[in-house]
Amino acid sequence: MPEPLERPWLKAQVGNRYSVPRPRVRPLYALLTDSAKLHPRDRCLHYQGRDFTYAEVDELSSRFASALVGLGVKKGDRVAVFLPNIPQLVIAYFGTLKCGGIVVMCNPVYKERELEHQLRDSGAEVVVASRTVARGMDLFSSLEGCRGRLSLRHVVVTGLGDYLPGLKRRLAGLAGIKDVPRRDTLDFVDLVGSSAPIATYASVDPVSDVAVLQYTGGTTGVSKGAMLTHYNLVSNAEYGVSLFPITGRDISLCVLPLYHIYGLTVTMNAPLAAGAAMVLLPSFHVDEVMKTIQSQKVTIFSGAPAMYVAINSKPEASKFNLRSVRACLSGGSALPPAVRKKFIELTGGNLVEGYGLSETSPVTHCNPVSGGVVKDGSIGPPFSETDAMIVDLSDRDKVLKAGEVGELAVKGPQVMKGYWNQKEETDAVLKDGWFITGDVAKMDPEGYFYIVDRKKDMVNVGGLKVYPREVEDVLFEHPDVKEAGVVGIPDDFSGEAVKAFVVLKDPAKKVTAQEITAFCQERLAKFKVPKEVEFVQELPKTLIGKVLRRKLRELKPPQP
């Protein structure tokens, strides 16, 4: 791969948070153990009314590490964690790392086929899962359905209420949370309680040894396991600490799912590296989030645009005191400028957009949170020690100048080692340390980058390129539009045309497709204006709020 023609962001890095010391080369589990040594009695986790100190979490994870060794887990063995955001996930994650295992984070609401693929592909022989049925949802059923076809040595189960305070645990049944016995399983709490803390942590090479197999979303094909090393994740967490910056006095709301790399790094690894507190919420419910921010005095909240839209759209939001929030990061999908502006007005804190991928641990770019220029629509300049450039869409050896649109390539300490057992796929995206992202982007003269859209999502209207994000940003400006998603549809005349799916703020209000089209005509070139507008109740999304355009294309039009 060639080198960038220019690096204008380096001028802005002198003397500010983009220019920070290179993180120490250390194992990933050291994020917890080092903080536990420095302030053992400080609060580490808060979960449904119960606090855990750093010393407690450190000891519980060391006990789980010892239990895994007793079950035959050796360095390099894969341990799958199939849990929502509960303390057992944090304990299992660091326990696996301490004994030298590789963590495989699995989406807790995956269906049988999706889960089976990850367990089979990773070769995981131990799975930590929930035995709970919560509000009619059996979180164990997917594993139960496929475990007979896999070579699993052990299944360790835990309940969502196992670490609840006494009263809440007794009342869990009234809330529709019920523990169900599962055959041929081991109990997580019993294993931890009966195991002495591991005496010696596994010896790892942080630069070359894999810590986490982070599976890509698989929204356009078979999900692949990105091999993230200890140093990939340590470096990204520590640069995240400098980004906000995070201190031991901060309280991080952890509602992004931790199986996802965004939640894992930004809401768990980074706060733990700084000795901050994490407040765990197993799922996003807007009222619960606002109540938690108010009661726990949350200072840092990282989320997806859909979460900020949900808070902005609640008429009751102004009744909550959200003023403790000082710094917020948005990622996973584009942050419309109108959403950012309203959320800042509501909380008084700063909300900025960043960018990352599973393959990059994840963050590569971010607008400055405190100090520096924030540019609407931009993902910001690259992180410290991170290089970036725009290459031609059809010729990766051709580097483009500022203002030209092409494909984003990144290079840095957070870039994965490769895809697990996928050499051909790895070679297609990794070139001389550069990761070719598949995202269409541009850089401005100051070194701020802008994601135009996914390469695969471009709409070709008679040879003219339309990027869905640009159309969506305009739709978000409409006073009656809550959310919008744009895709390409077949068109006999131009090959493809633009179609918009729109969610209204008030579903009862009469808004016509013609009104939406007219609004766009005033703001977009004719070929970018949606040819069709369909009103829907909600948009299909991932758990972190990214709109699934593939699912939009599969939606059947309403019957006349």
Nearest Cα to 276, choosing from 69, 38, 492? 38
Q: Which one of 203, 220, 246 terminates a domain?
A: 203
Cα separation, 12 vs 18, whole angstroms: 8
Per the DSSP assignment, residues forming a β-bridge with 133 are: 138, 178
Name the pLDDT band for 487 (thresholds 50, 70, 90).
very high
Q: Does 218 fall in a domain?
A: no
Mean pLDDT confidence for 463-481: 87
pLDDT at 407 over 80: yes
53-62, 210-219, 404-413: least confident range? 210-219
Q: Does 339 fall in a domain?
A: no
Task: Encode pLDDT of 230-262 as tens digits.
Answer: 999 999 999 999 988 999 999 999 999 999 999
The pLDDT > 90 percentage for the chain reads 72
pLDDT of the residue at 210: 98
Q: Does 520 fall in a domain?
A: yes
Cα-Cα-Cα-Cα dihedral sign, residues 240, 244, 248, 251: negative
On whether the CB atoms of residues 186 and 64 are closer than 8 A, the answer is: no
* Sheet containing 350-356, strands listed edge to edge, beginning at the edge strand earlier in sequence: 50-53, 43-47, 277-280, 251-254, 300-303, 327-330, 350-356, 363-366
Residue count of the chain, please give it: 560
Cα separation, 76 vs 79, whole angstroms: 9
pLDDT of the residue at 329: 95
- DSSP H or E segment with residue 484: strand 481-491
CATH code of the domain in which 466 resides: 3.30.300.30
Nearest Cα to 355, choosing from 287, 394, 410? 410
pLDDT at 311 over 80: yes
The pLDDT > 70 percentage for the chain reads 94
Higher-confidence residue of 126 and 12: namely: 126
Task: Encode pLDDT of 3-47 as tens digits.
Answer: 999 999 987 654 444 456 788 999 999 999 999 999 999 999 999
Give the range of the structural domain holding residue 511, as residue numbers without chain letter. Answer: 458-554
CATH code of the domain in which 154 resides: 3.40.50.980
Name the pLDDT band for 168 (thresholds 50, 70, 90).
low
Nearest Cα to 268, choosing from 282, 253, 290? 253
Q: Does 359 fall in a domain?
A: no
Q: Does 505 fall in a domain?
A: yes
Cα separation, 298 vs 295, whole angstroms: 8
Q: Which one of 154, 169, 203 terminates a domain?
A: 203
Q: Which one of 158, 173, 203 terminates a domain?
A: 203
**Per-position DSSP letters for 80-141, written without gaps between them:** EEE--SSHHHHHHHHHHHHTT-EEEE--TT--HHHHHHHHHHHT--EEEEE-EEETTEETTH
Mean pLDDT confidence for 65-77: 98
Name the pLDDT band for 453 (thresholds 50, 70, 90).
confident
Which tokens hold the place of 23?
């993180």
Name the pLDDT band for 172 (thresholds 50, 70, 90).
low
Count of helices and strands (H, E) across the chain? 18, 29
Q: Does 237 fall in a domain?
A: no
Name the pLDDT band for 51 (thresholds 50, 70, 90).
very high
Cα separation, 124 vs 446, whole angstroms: 46
Instruction: Say how many domains are in the chain.
Output: 2
Q: What is the DSSP letter of 335?
A: -
Name the pLDDT band for 220 (thresholds 50, 70, 90).
very low
508 Rama sector, left if φ>0, alpha if ψ -120 to 50, beta otherwise: alpha
Q: Does 26 fall in a domain?
A: no
Cα→Cα distances 221→109, 114, 216, 550, Å: 19, 12, 10, 11
pLDDT of the residue at 468: 87
pLDDT of the residue at 219: 38
pLDDT of the residue at 560: 55
Task: Encode pLDDT of 491-535 as tens digits.
Answer: 877 788 999 999 999 999 999 999 999 999 999 888 899 999 999
3-class DSSP assignment, residue 394: coil
**Per-position DSSP letters for 261-306, written without gaps between them:** HHIIIIIIIHHHHHT-EEEE-SS--HHHHHHHHHHHT--EEEE-HH
pLDDT of the residue at 19: 56
Mean pLDDT confidence for 264-290: 96
3-state secondary structure 149-184: HCCCCEEEEECCCCCCCHHHHHHHHHHCEEECCCCC
Q: Does 268 fall in a domain?
A: no
Contacts of 482 (CB under 8 A, 6+ apart): 309, 313, 503, 504, 505
pLDDT of the residue at 530: 96
Nearest Cα to 27, choosing from 197, 155, 212? 212
